[in-house]
Amino acid sequence: MGRKRKKLIEKSTSIIFRIDNETLFKLCDILQIKYDENAEILDDSTKNALNVEIKKIVHEFVK
């Protein structure tokens, strides 16, 4: 038995890809997202802001 499963179109999928930091920093500059290029790692707030903006770009692209 169990519950009825959603159709795949109704779900979301995580996509992970690797990008070099030079390109990432250029994207941050274009999108006016603050970052510390001297830090050892990219902080979570910067990553979250990038995720939001990349989602917007993809949504606009497929319209």
State the pLDDT at residue 2: 86
State the pLDDT at residue 25: 96
**Is 1 part of any domain?**
no
Q: Which residues of the chain have pLDDT under 70?
A: none
**Is 9 part of any domain?**
no
Structural domain boundaries enclosing 34: 19-62
Report the number of distinct structural domains present in the chain: 1
In the DSSP assignment, the letter for residue 41 is S
State the pLDDT at residue 40: 93
State the pLDDT at residue 34: 95
**Is 35 part of any domain?**
yes
Distances (CA, A) of 8 to 16, 27, 53, 55, 62: 19, 31, 24, 19, 18
State the pLDDT at residue 6: 92
